Amino acid sequence: MMISNTITSESVKIPNDLESYYIAPNRCSASPLSKSRFSEMTRTQFLMKATYLQVAKGNDKAFTLIELLVVISIIAILAGLLLPSLSRAKSATQRTHCLSQMKQLAMGVMMYADDHRDELPRSQHSAFAFRQSPWAISILPYLGQSNSDNHADNKRNIRRGVFRCSKVKDPEKSSYGQNVYFELGADDDYLGRPTSWRKLTSIPRRSATILQGEVTGRIDHIMAHFWREGAEPEVATDRHGAEGKSNYSFADGHAESRQFLLTYDEKAQRDLWNPLTSK
């Protein structure tokens, strides 16, 4: 609220005898000050007090209902503008955190290969047939966790922490799966048979070949070699945002966000899952 009458030193007359004082009519009113009390106040303090009295006199008007509704409407509009931005920021944070986890998992796989004659760990697709632990359990020691003999403990460990994307709410579902191409053998049906890419150094273009991706179900692997036959991809293609992106790690250890069609598109003859065709 604006005050039309401005109090100045001219509108407040201070008598020389300090026993009383006069304030210009219709500006403000106050009780006389005693001489001893007034003598303690400087001219500036006196003017400030007079200004305060003027403001207090004209500031007794409350908000009307219309004014209150206008304020509420403005707040609602601002909230509507800010909430989508906050949602996008949260989604970007979750995507970045998930990407960091996938890079850690990829590095765990790299270290496992260094200690196992350059061979990559297997997934549930073939691990049990070869009397091995699936890849997630196999790399636990390389992530600072213990590989227990208790199956329940291992299952619990690979469903939390670095193995779990914050966007996956079902505790029984997997977040990440490994590309099955790295465990296929001559008895399997795939493009490039009987070439095997069991060893890390046997992959021609490691920086262009996908190692792991985000999955939709409870499996820990991605059967990319079946897609040419019409099988539905197990990849969570739109987990991170409306752009249809999800995260992928590559055989050289790096990770990035991509649209699924930039990893596999049969019409465009693009396949970054098969080490033979990735480029």
Residue 215: strand, helix, or coil: strand
Kindly list the domain boundaries of the chain, sorted by start residue.
12-58, 95-271
Across 173-178, average pLDDT = 95
Confidence of residue 211 (pLDDT cuts 50, 70, 90): very high
Q: Tokens in use for 145?
A: 């966790």
User: pLDDT tens digits, residue range 233-269?
Assistant: 999 998 887 678 899 999 999 999 999 999 999 999 9
Separation of alpha carbons 201 and 113, rounded Å: 10
Angle at 134 between CA 188 and CA 103, to 5 degrees: 100
Question: How far is residue 61's CA from residue 137's CA, in Å, rounded to a whole number?
Answer: 71
Radius of gyration over alpha carbons of the chain, in Å?
36
Which residue type is seen at 266?
E
| pTM of the entire predicted model | 0.69
pLDDT tens profile 110-135: 999 999 999 999 999 999 999 999 99
SS3 category, 245: strand
